Amino acid sequence: MNGIHDMGGMQGLGEIGYKESAPGFNEPWEVRLFALVQAMRTGGLRTYIESIPAPDYLRMGYYERWYTALITKIIERGIVTRAEVDSGRPDTASVNASPALTPEIARDLLFRSTKTEQDVELRAQFHIGESVRGRNINPATHTRMPRYTRGKTGVVERDRGVFNLPDNEETSAEHKPQHVYLIRYAGRELWGEEAPPNDSVYIDMWEDYLEPA
């Protein structure tokens, strides 16, 4: 894709700048940061990333936001202090983590996949081939529901299984497992008559995002 064009009132944003042979990381420190986040298993950073003030967020690169969010979170959790971060040295009075994180443990964690599908039996509210509509929700906190699907009608293509609702995990310690569906939206349903007639968009949607059409 060379760019996003004006479709159905959507403002054109110009060329995306995609490079087929682009490396996954641009700087060595980004690799170290990615490994550190994986090895520390601190949980999601999304809430902390979204809390970065807008002027700072817009000037930062992708991994700069990761770094800022990680530092904020581990200070908040009491894992390190601001003085330790600023000096780059541990406080002599601090308690060492046990067991110590060795390179071997870190390497194993880096390549270990976390199973997110839930082994629970729940009745599915929707079924393959059924028409559904994106609910018109506007939560103040994070949601994985794309704004452009609200009020739009699609068709259930696949039941992905049961997963915890990520919106709930950001604001509550309680899990809310539910079915996730692959929904096919016609391009013209989303973007209007200027969209190519054969285009479709496939999006994974939690049950809380959907209602019967």
- Amino acid 80 reads V
3-110 sits in which CATH class?
Answer: mainly alpha
> Does the structure show a pLDDT above 70 at 81?
yes
Mean pLDDT of 67-75: 93
Lowest mean pLDDT among 19-33, 70-84, 86-100: 86-100
120 and 162 Cβ atoms separated by less than 8 Å? yes
Q: What values do phi and psi take at 200, rounded to 5? A: -140, 155
Retrieve residue 205's tokens: 């949607």
Q: Where are the domains of the chain?
A: 3-110, 131-212
CATH of 131-212, one of 2.30.30.50, 3.10.180.10, 1.25.40.10, 3.40.50.970: 2.30.30.50
- pLDDT, tens digit (0-9, with 9 covering 90-100), for 125-183: 999 999 999 999 988 777 889 999 999 999 999 999 999 988 866 566 678 899 999 99
- pLDDT, tens digit (0-9, with 9 covering 90-100), for 31-58: 989 888 877 766 678 888 888 999 999 9
113 and 42 Cβ atoms separated by less than 8 Å? no
pTM over 0.85: no
